[in-house]
Amino acid sequence: MIVGIGIDLVECGRFLDWSAFKKQRIFTKKELEYADADNANAEKHLANFWAAREACLKALGTGFGDDIGFSDVSVVHDELGRPELLLAGGAKAALKEKSGGADTIVHLSITDQDDYSAAIVIIEKL
């Protein structure tokens, strides 16, 4: 049963002017390392990660704030390079509340084209 769905579209160029300090506040060390490893497309990777976070929060029916911080939602990659969401803290608590404590799968798909990145998140209660 689907209990949440969220989608987000981001213009990649908005991350060009972000300072290193702002990026370190928003993104995890692993996300920054992943983006920096492909320096030519670093901003596109950051836009992908941001779109994934926003789509996740929309699927949870919440936003960033006192209960959910930037580091509570992040993107990691499995051994094949597939992106997955890692939820911690307030985001993990919101997921538990959204699902009524049932086991869940959080599906993530990210795409980018030219100057835009998009992500969709579907929360499935098992």
Give residue-wise pLDDT tens across range 36-50: 998 889 999 999 999
Backbone angles phi, psi at 124, to 5 degrees: -115, 125
Cα 104 from Cα 42, distance rounded (Å): 31
CATH number at residue 47: 3.90.470.20
Cα 60 from Cα 70, distance rounded (Å): 14
- Provide the domain limits for residue 111: 2-125
Cα 43 from Cα 18, distance rounded (Å): 10
pLDDT at 64 over 90: no
Taking CB atoms within 8 Å and a gap of at least 24, the contacts of 17-20 are 18/46
- Number of domains comprising the chain: 1
pTM for the whole thing?
Answer: 0.93
Q: Which helix (H) or strand (E) holds 103?
A: none
